[in-house]
Amino acid sequence: MILLAAGMINRMLGFIPRIALPRIIGAEGVGLYQLGYPFFIVLITVITGGLPLAIAKMVAEAEGENRPEQSRRILRTGLTLSFSLGMLFTLVALLSASWVSNVILTDSRVYYTFVSMTPMISIVAVSAVYRGYFQGRQNMIPSALSSVLESVIRIFFMLWFSYLLLPKGMAFAAAGAMLGVTVGELIGMLALLVQYFFITKADRSESDHTKAAPDQELQPDNSNTKGTQASPLLTRMLGIAVPVTAGRLVGSFSYLLESIITARSLALAGLATAAATAQYGSLQGMVIPLLLLPGVLSSSLAVSLVPSLSEAAARRDLPAIHKRMHQALRLAMVSGAPFSAIMYVLAEPLCTLMYGNADTAPMLRLMAPFALFLYVQAPLQAALQAMDRPGRALINTLAGAVIKILLILMLASRPEYGIYGAIIAIIVNSILVTLLHYSSVVKLIQLSLRVKDPLKTITAMIIMAAGTSYVYHAVPLSGTMWLQFLFAAASGMALYLGICLLSGLISVRDLERVPFFKRRR
C-alpha cells in the first residue's frame, strides 16, 4: 500500500511536466526529448531489469534466517555488479551518441539530449539495488520517500533547465529537460543512501543492546557468512535476475523500435525532420500520457487483483475467481469509459487547455474510443500473473509488439497516413493484446462471456458523449474556456452516472463501498 500510494502520487506529479514542458519547448522540443528516452529505458532494463527482484528475494531469505551480515554481502555484490554495468553502458552510450543521433534516429539534434541522459545510467543502477535491498527487508518507506522526492526535484529542474537553455535553441532546451531528470535521479539516490545510513546505524545500536546473549549462539551465523564467497552469491543473483530481465526487455525493445521506425517511416513519407520530430513528440509526449492518466484506476485494480485471485486459486475456489474477474473487468470498463468519452468529444478544448496547442486534438480524438482496451488490459494481465501464467502474458505482448512495428513500417511511411499510421498501429496493438489476454484468461479459468456489461458501458458512453457535446456547444457560459470545459464534463459525468445506476452497471451497494458515500449515509 505504501508503494501504491507513492506510485499514484508520482503519476499525478509526473503529469505536471507533461502539461508545462510543451508550453516551454513546444511539440518539437518534446519530440527531441522523447526520441532519446527509449535508448535509456533499454540500457536501464539490461542493467536493473531483474536485479532488484533478485536482491529483494535473497535479502528476504537472509533476514528470515537472522543473518544481517549476509544481507550486507548481497547488497555489496549487487552494488558491484550494477555499478560496473552502469559505468560500462555509460561509456558505450557516450561513444555511440553521435552515431545513434545521426544514423538511427535521423535527427542530429537528439545528440545533446542523449549525452545529458548518460549520467543517469549509473545513478539509476545504484538506486535500483538499494530499493531491492529495502524491499527484501520489508521496509517500503525508503523507496516511497525517495521516489516522491525524486519526482518533485525532477519536475522543478526539468522545467527550469529547459527554460534557461531555450534561448540557445530547441536541442539545448530538450537537453536541459533531460538534465533536470538526471538531477532528480541523483537526489533520489542520495535520499536512499541517507536512509540506508540511518537504518544501518539503528541496526548496529540494536545489535549492541543484544550482546548479552551467549556468544556461541551467534557463532554459527558468523562462520556461515565468512564462508560465503561473492561468487556463489553472484551466480545465484544472476540466475534470478537474467530471466526476469529477458522478459522485460521485450517491452523496452518494442518501445525503442517503435521510436526508431516511426521516425524513419515519417522521413520516408516525405516529412521534414523537424516536422516528424514534432509529430512524434505530440503523440508520445502529449496524447498517450492523457490516454493513460485514467489508467491509474485500472492499474490500482490490477495490483489488488493479484493477491485476491492468488488466494482464491490456492483454495481452488473457481466461482470466487470468476466473480472477482467479472467485477474487475466491469469496474475497469465503467471507470474508464467516461474519460474516453470526454477525451473524444472535448479533445480540442482539452488539448488547448493542457498544452496550449489544439493540433494534437485529432490524434487524441482518434485514439480515445479505443482507450477502453488499455484500461481492461491491466486486470487481464494481472490475472495471468496471479494464475502463474506470466509466460502467456509475455507471448501475447510480444505478438502485439511485432504486429505494431510492422504496421508502423507499412502505414507511417505512406504520405497519406504519416503519423496517423503509427496511431492506427498502436490502436491495433491495444486491441490485439487485450483480446489475446482475454482469450488466455477464458481458457485458463473457463470464464464465461458477459456481453451485457460491455454493451451497457458502450451505450452509456455514447449517450454521455452526445450529452457532453450538446452542453458544450449549446449552453455557452461567459468566462474562460476552463469553465465551459468543466461544466460540460461535469454534466456528462452526471448523465453517465445516472445511466449506470439505472442500467445496473453501478449499484447502490457499489456506492456504499466508497468512503464518501458511506459517511453520508
- Per-residue cell: 182: 538526471
Look at residues 17, 49, 31 and name the one whose alpha carbon lies nearest to residue 181: 17
Which residue is it, cell 536493473? 48
Residue 28 is predicted with a pLDDT of 84
Task: Report the distance separating Cα 325 and Cα 305, nearest Å.
Answer: 8
Contact 149, 191 (CB under 8 A): yes
Give the pLDDT confidence score for residue 103 in this predicted structure.
80
How far is Cα 241 from Cα 248, in angstroms, rounded to an integer? 11
The pair phi, psi for residue 416, each rounded to 5°, is -70, -15
Listed in sequence order, the DSSP H helices in 166-272 are 170-209, 215-227, 230-268
What's the whole-number average pLDDT of the chain? 82
Q: Nearest-CA neighbor of 258 among 405, 433, 423, 418?
A: 405
Exposure b/e, 100-111, CB count within 10 A at least 16 = b: bbeebbbbebbb
Alpha carbon distances (Å) from 261 to 16, 57, 502, 511: 29, 38, 47, 46
The verdict on pTM exceeding 0.95 is no
Q: Is 206 left (phi over 0), alpha (psi -120 to 50) or beta?
A: alpha
E-strand stretches of 73-229: none
Q: Report pLDDT digits (tens) over 449-503.
A: 778 888 999 999 999 999 999 999 887 776 678 889 999 999 999 999 999 988 8
- The answer to whether the CB of 389 falls within 8 A of the CB of 368 is no
CA atoms of 382 and 377, how far apart (whole Å): 9
Report the SS3 class of residue 348.
helix
Burial call 459-476: b when 16+ CB within 10 Å, e when fewer: ebbebbbebbbebbeeee
Cα 136 to Cα 60: distance, rounded to the nearest angstrom: 4
Apex 385 CA angle, 423 and 86, nearest 5: 70
Low-confidence ranges of the chain (pLDDT < 70): 1-4, 6-8, 205-231, 244, 247, 296-308, 310-311, 314, 385-386, 388, 390, 478-479, 508-521
Cα gap 473→323, rounded to integer Å: 42
What are 15-33's pLDDT values in tens digits? 788 788 888 888 888 888 8
Q: Where are the domains of the chain?
A: 1-208+239-272, 294-521
Structure confidence at residue 471 (pLDDT): 92
DSSP letters along 245-294, please?
HHHHHHHHHHHHHHHHHHHHHHHHTT--HHHHHHHHHHIIIIIHHHHHTT
Could you tell me which residues come within 8 angstroms of residue 365 by beta carbon, excluding any fewer than 6 positions away?
343, 344, 347
Cell of 404: 505494431
